[in-house]
Structure 1
Amino acid sequence: MQCFVYKSLRKADTYVYLREADRFDVLPAAIAEALGNLGFVIEIELSPQRKLARENVDVVIGNLDRQGYHLQWPPPAESGQAS
């Protein structure tokens, strides 16, 4: 499955995977507004055998099939406090 990845220019480390290039209309209005402008990052071919750095490829493919997009949120912040 071909996939187009964009980064939010407003929210650091937040990415949107789209099934079709520049099809931002598939994003719910509240999400699109929160993300702000999006910048193109890469076009990739997704398959169950492909590993993604921070996402489960099966979940991404499922979201693209069902809703046309997948959101990748920033990783949880580490507390930085020792126990």
Structure 2
Amino acid sequence: MKRICSVYHSSKKAGMYLYVLRADALKRVPEALLELFGAPKHAFDLVLTPTRTLVREDIIQVLKNLDTQGYHLQMPPPEDDYLVHWPEELLRRNDAM
């Protein structure tokens, strides 16, 4: 099973990507998802096969989603905890200064 795919990145959320079949373009993507995604910006096209490796996604799941729903949404990676939650000792040290 080989699929020619177009990948778009979100104009609203860094790291969010939308995979679609190039022949269908964005026709099968629900309007509600496009509203949340923002204006899709074409990033690149690629050929997907079950043996191809993707860095952050399971290729089998991507191919299944393309066949069943017409798109695959790649969410951004979670933010690192250290950016959100400062250690208590560091906060106390900064308050003392």
TM-score under structure 1 normalisation? 0.89
* Uncovered stretches (5+) of structure 1, i.e. residues with no partner: none
Deviations 1:1-51 (A, max 9, x none): 111100011111100000135722311222110111011111101011100
Match of 1:63 among 62, 65, 68: 65
* Map of 2:93 onto structure 1: none
Q: Distance in 2 between matches of 1:79 and 1:22?
A: 38
* Map of 1:6 onto structure 2: 8
Q: Distance in 1 between matches of 2:78 and 2:43?
A: 22
Report if the CA contact (8 A) 2:6-2:25 is conserved: no
* Map of 2:26 onto structure 1: 24
Structure of greater relative contact order (alpha carbons < 8 Å, 6+ residues apart): 1
How many residues are aligned here? 82
Answer with 13-22 or 39-48: which moved more: 13-22
Calculate the aligned-residue CA RMSD, in Å. Answer: 1.5
Distance 1:72 1:35, change over 3 A: same
* Map of 1:38 onto structure 2: 40
Q: Give the share of equivalent positions with the same residue, in percent.
A: 40
Q: Which has the higher helix share?
A: 2
Q: Distance in 2 between matches of 1:4 and 1:47?
A: 14
TM-score under structure 2 normalisation? 0.77
